[in-house]
Structure 1
Amino acid sequence: MTERSKSSHGVPSAKEPIVFVVEDDASMRRALSNLFQSVGLQVELYGSASEMLQSELPEVASCLVLDIRLPGLSGLDFQTELAKANIHIPIIFMTGHGDIPMSVRAMKGGAVDFLTKPFRDQDMLDAVVAAIERDRKRRESDKIVADLRTLFETLTAREREILTLVAAGLMNKQIAAELGLAEITVKIHRGHLMKKMGAKSLADLVRKAETLGIHRIRQA
């Protein structure tokens, strides 16, 4: 059964970061829970990877403190399963049986740290703070892209076409020639798409296009 630990500030808000702990040793789970709560972090505890897989993860900045050796699915295999499921939660591995191949595989898989038991409390806290900050930045970046994608979906087919050419560095006159339009028509379309995309300038529009991965190799 999942153990939930609230922060020391009372009932936590949905926006507070969460530390997920997957560790089969009950005493270690309690120790980690006490450690994280001591600095005001919200904690959710699991005795196995399968328990966490069955849970719905909230959309807040978080990290996963994960034991390498677990009953059933191992920590490293769980890392692989999370990646396959497109779950990008930062992982801090811990083990009492660590070796170089394990740590190399963990880090190549994207782990932010690999701590060998017994570890210093401060080392764990430092790793968790860094992991949560990494996750917060990733979520902010993902939201920016999602918001831009929503704006992009409001563009007409012609506006999308012109945006692609603008992102390629073409001037209005060149775009007009390529599309067989009057230059004034291109200017009107560009004005409309800039407004829809919330672009303050041409440079801002190009940056937004790059963020969305919109680009076109300009022909020589």
Structure 2
Amino acid sequence: MKWPLKALLILGLAGLIALLYVALRARPVDPAAALPAPSASPPPVKVVPPAPVPAPAAKPVDPKLQGEVEAFRAGTPVVRVQRFYGAESARVGAIDNDPGLTQRRLEAMAAELTAAEIEWLKNAALDRKRGGDGRFFAAFLLALAPGQVSAGALRGIALDPVPNLKNQGLVELERQVRAQATEGLGHQRGNVSAQDALLDVVQYQKDEFVRDRAHRALHEWRTGKTVEAQDEEALRKVREKGE
């Protein structure tokens, strides 16, 4: 199984949006059109019960994936997700001959994650010593896990302050990791915890680009219009203005 091509396209489009955002910052901005300023108060502490995400025992598993899912279930918690993380993050960028099956496979594994494994993935996504591919994959997998626990982990990633580094390339990487988590919350439609997390990101995240992602993800959560579609529409409008 290979990494989903759709996920790579999403990351590429997000990178293009980030470059456009940096370029437009030098232009005069209409104060009325600016995003609302973040709150100066720290985000409220939300206690997430340390219970595992319910296993999808009643949810049928694709017969093609049954053996792999059963093997994952039989594995040692945390250790199994560490191995899965290592194998999958190494496949980022490879050709995917069956992206639909890959997506179902990742969803099946994400549904098996325990609270401890979700916490491990959160820490992996925020670990600056890890490669960018692995950090993106950790946030991507968390977005596929259902429930309050995964939403809390994505919230923690999205709210983590973007570090002030001399290397602007590394700063953009940190922004994109947080943006990946933020957009993942937008995909969890129907999960009220995800909506609450996005509202917190809009209010408390001080980085303007990540807050912009949160606004778009919140719009997706409410309307179903994907962040990718919103980005494409914004780029089209920019091109039309430039003509």
**In proportion to residue count, which structure has more helix?**
2
**In proportion to residue count, which structure has more strand?**
1
Normalised by the length of structure 1, the TM-score is 0.28
Pick the structure with greater CA Rg: 1
Normalised by the length of structure 2, the TM-score is 0.26
